[in-house]
Amino acid sequence: MIGVMGAGAFGTALAVSLAAKGPVVLAARTEAQAEEIRRAGEVARLPGVTLPEAVQVGAGVAALAGCDIILLAVPTQKLRAMLMDAGGVFDAKTLVATCKGVEQGSQKSPSQVIAEVCPEAMVAVLTGPSFAADIARGLPTALTLACADRAAGKALQEALSVAHLRLYRSEDVTGAELGGALKNIIAIACGAAVGAGLGESARAALMTRGYAEMARMAEAMGARAETLAGLSGFGDLALTCTSEQSRNLRYGLALGRGEPFDSGVTVEGAASAPAVVARAEALGIEMPITRVVVGLVSGQLRVAGAMDMLLSRPLKEEKC
């Protein structure tokens, strides 16, 4: 059986989608949350999406004890604590990370955190250009399923694919995760530029040079260039930087406009940016846009000053 840990918008959307293939366990954080979902027949963050009968709503990791494949739809910064509290429930399971980001402090990706805390588990990553509402409503979506074990990856591809959700397999877990983490940071920069009234040309420039930063870090960390050019890299970057369904873009828009942003909304790019800068410094990589986003998020920079920093950099040949 397939289980989903995390009854937020994305976890619920995956559960709804996968219910077309059979029973799915959707685990909310607490029994109170689970009971509210059962009563309403839907999740508040996905209004209008009725849960199919095949979706069994439970509470906590204990609800997933009978599942062989578990999708982890929790924020990157909360992943380690959730895994450590799971006891032995996740031992020898197939764990699929759907979160995107870099853990603060350790500078580790979600798959690395899982492997560290649950060394007996088979680890995979599901990532790419997607919004929860699209998946839940059965709109065509394509994602990258990355697993270092080819045979396990093929089995997962079969298990998690449904008619409207097409999964492309990859063995480049590092590249797939980097694309998902770094594009969120670039989306914040794009949102800040547009929110400050700097125009669509500025957005295009930030997306393009942001992609160059993504490619530089990927190369330095041993990822494949074609992975960054695919769904989990370029595809996700294009979607996240251009649609206001993106929380990271909306957060950037608020920064650019000088408006408050809902603190209850998870913004993975804001949480990951400092860890990415620290990793880039250790690798000797230039990532000026990411560094500027750290300044914006911390309040040490305003958009005008951030753009001045980027535009005053030495002139150079266009290459990654």
pLDDT at 303: 85
The Cα–Cα gap between 63 and 256 comes to 42
Average pLDDT over residues 63-89: 95
Contact 292, 310 (CB under 8 A): yes
Contact 99, 81 (CB under 8 A): no
3-state secondary structure of 140: coil
Q: What percent of the chain has pLDDT over 90?
A: 90
Q: What is the dihedral of CA 262, 265, 267, 272, to 10 degrees?
A: 110
Q: Which two tokens stand for residue 105?
A: 């402090």
In the numeric block, the tokens 């530029």 are attached to 193
Nearest to 140 by CA among 165, 167, 168, 169: 165
pLDDT at 87: 86
Report whether pLDDT(201) > 80.
yes
Q: Which residues contact 36 (CB under 8 A, 6 or more apart)?
A: none
Of 93, 100, 108, 183, the active-site residue reads: 183
pTM of the prediction? 0.94
pLDDT band at 181 (very low <50, low <70, confident <90, very high): very high
Residue 162's φ and ψ, nearest 5 degrees, are -130, 175
pLDDT band at 84 (very low <50, low <70, confident <90, very high): very high
Report whether pLDDT(311) > 90.
no
Report whether pLDDT(314) > 80.
no
Average pLDDT over residues 167-182: 97
Average pLDDT over residues 208-218: 95
3-state secondary structure of 162: strand
Report whether pLDDT(196) > 90.
yes
Average pLDDT over residues 46-69: 95
Average pLDDT over residues 64-86: 96
Report whether pLDDT(309) > 90.
no
Active-site residue flag, 183:
yes
pLDDT at 209: 95
Report whether pLDDT(320) > 70.
no
Mean pLDDT over each residue of the chain, to the nearest integer: 95
Average pLDDT over residues 222-238: 96
Report whether pLDDT(319) > 80.
no
Average pLDDT over residues 178-184: 96
pLDDT one-digit tens code per residue, 266-288: 899 999 999 999 999 999 999 99
Q: What percent of the chain has pLDDT over 70?
A: 99
